[in-house]
């Protein structure tokens, strides 16, 4: 399947501006160029074009929000200077398995000030003497090269990061549930005051709604003192 058809398939009746992740792995590029991808994909944050036969990224559209670009297992040998212009906020770049032979090829990446992770596995450049030290000197903004930092500490697992984000979401859900329960209790107490007490007490509860826990404690204490056996 060629790249244009694959992009059309991946859209699934969405507009390009609705797409944040786009995976085009193993489709066919036309003459080694990116095609069918336009600057209408303005919200795109993740793009994967693994093993599509690319020889150049010159036809990459302007993607200001792109954070992660997967270009592994292609035939790219240069022309990386366009990335700073087309993807100025890129943080992760995977060029593993391409035809990158020397440091001068990746030197233009120093213009990507936000780049934190670069992968060059199975590229000839990795065979150079003091390869890692020289890349970190050339690209001081990097935190990870081929999955490890300057001290050979492995980059955190992206799946673990997603899991941690999920835990944060669960905590937010629990907080929201507690807030909802307090809201329900306060509403019931307000109705109680409106029926059994003067209306002004119901108004007090309404005014105190911004601090629901304190309001609830106040109401419980009032009922206990006024209506205790």
Domain that holds residue 216: 161-227
Do 52 and 92 belong together in one domain? yes
pLDDT in tens, 14-32: 999 999 999 999 999 988 9
146 and 178 fall within a common domain:
no
Strand partners, 23: 48
How many domains are there within the chain?
2
pLDDT at 179: 54
Residues 33 and 47 in one domain: yes
Tell me which of 93, 127, 155 is where a domain ends: 155
Q: Which of 155, 190, 210 is the last residue of a domain?
A: 155
Tokens 């002004």 locate to 200
Q: Of 123, 139, 155, at which residue does a domain stop?
A: 155
Using CA atoms, how far apart are residues 129 and 97, in angstroms rounded to an integer?
Answer: 19
Cβ neighbours of residue 102 under 8 Å, at least 6 residues apart? 125, 128
25 phi, psi to nearest 5 deg: -55, 140
**Shared-domain flag, residues 68 and 42:** yes
Answer yes or no: do 137 and 97 share one domain.
Answer: yes
**Shared-domain flag, residues 149 and 201:** no
DSSP 98: S
For residue 70, CA distances in Å to 4, 66, 118, 151 come to: 18, 11, 10, 25
Write the pLDDT tens digit of every residue in 75-103: 999 999 999 999 999 999 999 999 999 99
Do 42 and 128 reside in the same domain of the chain?
Answer: yes
41 pLDDT band, cuts 50/70/90, is very high
- Residues 48, 127 share a domain: yes
How many angstroms separate the CA atoms of 74 and 64, rounded? Answer: 23
- Same domain membership, residue 71 and residue 51: yes
User: Do residues 28 and 71 both lie within one domain?
Assistant: yes
Claim to verify: residue 67 and residue 24 sit in the same structural domain: yes
Same domain? For 69 and 119 the reply is yes
Give the model's confidence band at 157: pLDDT under 50 very low, under 70 low, under 90 confident, else very high: confident
pLDDT of residue 196: 54
Q: Tell me what the pLDDT averaged over the chain comes to.
A: 82
CATH number of the domain that residue 76 is part of: 3.80.10.10
Tell me how long the chain is. 229
pLDDT of 8: 93
Q: Please say whether the beta carbons of 73 and 96 come within 8 A.
A: yes
User: What is the rounded CA–CA span in Å between residue 12 and residue 38?
Assistant: 17
């Amino acid at each position: 399947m060629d790249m244009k058809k694959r992009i059309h398939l991946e859209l699934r009746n969405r507009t390009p501006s609705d797409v944040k992740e786009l995976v085009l792995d193993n489709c066919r590029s036309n003459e080694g160029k990116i095609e069918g991808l336009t600057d209408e994909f303005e919200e795109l944050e993740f793009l994967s074009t693994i093993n599509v036969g690319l020889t150049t990224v010159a036809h990459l559209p302007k993607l200001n929000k792109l954070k992660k670009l997967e270009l592994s297992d292609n035939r790219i040998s240069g022309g990386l200077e366009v990335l700073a212009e087309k993807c100025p906020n890129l943080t992760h770049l995977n060029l593993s398995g391409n035809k990158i032979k020397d440091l001068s090829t990746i030197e233009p990446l120093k213009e990507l000030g936000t780049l934190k992770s670069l992968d060059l596995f199975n590229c000839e450049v990795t065979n150079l003497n003091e390869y890692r030290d020289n890349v970190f000197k050339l690209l001081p903004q990097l935190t990870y090269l081929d999955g490890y930092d300057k001290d050979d500490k492995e980059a955190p697992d992206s799946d673990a990061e997603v899991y941690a984000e999920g835990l944060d979401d669960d905590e937010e859900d629990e907080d929201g549930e507690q807030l909802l329960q307090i809201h329900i209790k306060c509403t019931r107490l307000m109705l109680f005051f409106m029926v059994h007490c003067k209306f002004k007490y119901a108004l007090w509860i309404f005014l105190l709604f911004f601090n629901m826990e304190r309001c609830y404690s106040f109401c419980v204490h009032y009922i206990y003192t006024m209506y205790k056996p």
